[in-house]
Structure formats: C-alpha cells, structure tokens
Amino acid sequence: MNSTLILGDCDTGMATLPDDSVNLIFTDPPYLGKTYEQAYSTLARHAPRILKSSGFLVMYCPQFYLNRIMHIFEDAPGLSYFWTVAQLNSGAKTVVWARKVICGWKPILIYQKPPITPVETIFLDVVSGARAKQFHQWEQSIQEPLHLLSRLTQPGDLVLDPYAGSGTSLLAAKLLNLSYLGYEIDPLAYETARARLQQEPLTISTPRGQGVAE
C-alpha cells in the first residue's frame, strides 16, 4: 500500500481496509467531553480485524477517562493489554479542575493483537518531548511516535493513524521509512497534515530514550 492521507471519516475508511493489513495503529483520538466514547469504541471495533497478528494499537488517553477507556478494550475481543507508557508533559501543565490535579503526564496505552510477542528492541516506558502546538491545538510532540514506532515496527511496516490531526504520527512514520495511512475528517487539519507530509527532511535523529543503554 502506498503512503497516503485521506480526507474523510475513519470509521467509514477503516471498514474498507482488508483483514490483517495493518502492522501498527498509532493515534491520539479526540476526547473532549463524551467524544471519547465514540472515538475509542471505533478503534476497538476495527483494530482486531485490520491489525496483523501481533500488531500493535498505540493510543494517547486522558487520565480522567482512563478506566472507562480500558473497559472498552476489555470488552473488545481480539486485543490484549500490552503496556502503558507515560508521556511527560514539558512546559505548561494542564489543571484538571474536576479533580484539582495538575496533570504532569499522559498515558499512552499499548494493546496487541494475539499472539502476545515482545518487541525485538527494548523501549523506554517514559517518553518526553518539547511542547508542540505549532500546527494544531491538540498536537503532540513528534518525539513520542519516533521513539515508539522505531521500537514497535519493522522496515516496510504499515502505520495507520485514524485520527491524523496535523499529521505528526504520519510524519514520524515517514521519517522512519515506514508506509503510512491516515484519515482526518477536519479539512483544515487535513491540509496542514498534507503540507507537512510533502516536506522532505534533510536529516533525522531518532530518539532512543532516556537512560537506556544502546
């Protein structure tokens, strides 16, 4: 499959993908208010079918709904919990007033389609990167997908981002010479991502984690 970004709804798009066709899903679903239920339920419905055996689902999650999101995937046949990675928030912190907590990190949940298979290269479960809001108000740092994709994929793998946003995870896949497929329903975010993906980087330095011996 050629690398591509599609303007459209991911639910409709993923329904057209062949069984066992995606090596890894890396995404940051929308989770304002009750939108998280539909977003994560959509992933839980499609991921078991379209992922290859031992393929990974990697997704950012808010602490506030973490238990409910994990419950969605406990009820989804065909996926098994693999690990939780902590993304450290650099710079300004978010205050969750409903709990009166200053949020200093964000969970990244990893599920795997059986059989459960350890990765070939060790990875660190605490990742951090510079604050990145240049292209989208909910943008994440590219450092996290670079680190995790470099550990959880093999050359030539296909990475899917159903909620592509400004294209950060797809750009990370491109930098790592992986194939990618993204869906984005918002036309402005789609155009931003498309422009970023058309750029040809001169160099890349893949993060290898903090405190990990190579």
Domains and CATH numbers, the chain: 4-198 (3.40.50.150)
pLDDT tens profile 192-213: 999 999 876 544 544 444 444 3
pLDDT tens profile 182-197: 999 999 999 999 999 9
Return the pLDDT at 204: 52
pTM of the model: 0.87
CA distance 146 to 144: 5
Please report the beta strands in 8-146, taking only residues with DSSP state E, as ranges in sequence order. Answer: 22-27, 51-60, 80-88, 94-96, 101-103, 105-112, 126-128
Residue 214 has pLDDT above 50, yes or no: no
Three-state SS for 178?
coil
State the residue for tokens 């990675």: 85
State residue 87 phi and psi, 5-degree precision. -95, 115
pLDDT tens profile 45-75: 999 999 999 999 999 998 989 999 999 999 8
Q: Which tokens sit at 32?
A: 């304002």
Contact 139, 168 (CB under 8 A): yes
CA distance 77 to 48: 7
Q: Which helix (H) or strand (E) holds 160?
A: strand 158-161
pLDDT tens profile 88-128: 877 667 788 888 998 888 899 999 999 999 988 888 899 88
Mean pLDDT of the chain: 87
Average pLDDT over residues 153-171: 95
